Amino acid sequence: MWMARSLFSALSLAQSPATDNPPYHWQPFLRPMPVWGDNAWPWLVLPLCIGVAIVYKSIKCRSMKQVPKEATVLTVWILAGMAIAAIVLALIVEGMERANT
């Protein structure tokens, strides 16, 4: 019962009109809580890639002795692929900006 009441109060706060002095300094989905600055978010790709590589290689390798080496190689490949994709997308955006000016 308490869960339903807290959910209802959270929803009513989220649906209340945004004012200069809201009851809380953040509202879910409208004004997210400032957790980190914008510079910290890209670094979260490292533990994500490491976790994905370890889980994938733990399933695919025949021996767990192979997992650290194989997961390291896969992590490097994932990071390299993401870096290449970021460079390509940045070049596309830059080209489109120059074409529109």
Give the model's pLDDT for residue 41.
81
Provide the whole-model pTM.
0.63
Inter-residue contact 67 to 54 (CB < 8 Å): yes
**Residues 41 and 59 grouped into a single domain:** yes
- pLDDT band, very low/low/confident/very high, at 95 (cuts 50, 70, 90): very high
**Residues 53 and 13 grouped into a single domain:** no
- Looking at the chain, the number of H-run helices and the number of E-run strands are 3, 0
**Residues 72 and 101 grouped into a single domain:** yes
**Residues 45 and 88 grouped into a single domain:** yes
**Residues 43 and 90 grouped into a single domain:** yes
Q: What is the pLDDT of residues 22-74, one digit of tens each?
A: 555 677 777 776 777 778 788 889 999 999 999 999 999 999 999 999 999 99
**Residues 59 and 88 grouped into a single domain:** yes
**Residues 57 and 74 grouped into a single domain:** yes
Question: In terms of residues, how long is the chain?
Answer: 101
Number of structural domains found in the chain: 2
